[in-house]
Amino acid sequence: MHRTTERFWRCFENLPEPIQKISKKKFELLKNDPTHPSLHFKKVGTFWSIRAGLNYRALAVEDGNDFIWVWIGNHDEYERMIKEEG
């Protein structure tokens, strides 16, 4: 199951509207087919990541069989978060 946090939604609200639309489509795809190649759903350090458009990513933490989506933003911020986590 996939859940989101308040922090995720605060990040989401700061995205450009076209990216918000793409992100919504990607999350629907994730729920229906997490192995779809366009998602690039993968483990990155302690996070799980999906591609939310060409230059945007979303991060989740695993909680048992669930994924809690905690952040979404541009690729530069994503790289910074991954480095800080590691």
Whether the model pTM is above 0.85: yes
- When pLDDT is cut at 50, 70 and 90, the band that residue 86 belongs to is low
Residue matched to tokens 């979303």: 58
pLDDT in tens, 7-49: 999 999 999 999 999 999 999 999 999 999 999 999 999 999 9
Q: Where are the domains positioned within the chain? A: 2-85
60-81 pLDDT tens trace:
999 999 999 999 999 999 999 8
Pairing of strands 56-63, 2-4: unpaired
Mean pLDDT of the 55-61 span = 97
Residue type for position 59: L
Q: Which fold has domain 2-85?
A: YaeB-like fold (3.30.2310)
